[in-house]
Amino acid sequence: MAIRYLLDEHLSPTYRSQLVRRNPELVVRIIGDLDVPPQGYSRSRDFDLVPNQWIYFGDEQP
């Protein structure tokens, strides 16, 4: 089963692009996408919610 991330609607869609570019097997959706479960139901469809916080890749520093 692929890892499935549900991004907070306040995160830039660039995060989705970068995650999938680095690992094409990921399933990454953003709250508000047409094929996303309603808010509050992320666990019922096996999505891991990524809240509106800083996300760092590789050696980036906060």
- Measured from the Cβ of residue 17, the count of other Cβ atoms closer than 10 Å reads 11
pTM here? 0.66
- Measured from the Cβ of residue 5, the count of other Cβ atoms closer than 10 Å reads 19
Backbone angles phi, psi at 7, to 5 degrees: -85, 145
Instruction: Report pLDDT digits (tens) over 19-52.
Output: 999 999 999 988 888 887 666 555 546 777 776 6
Instruction: Report pLDDT digits (tens) over 3-26.
Output: 888 888 888 899 899 999 999 999
CA 30 to chain centre: 6
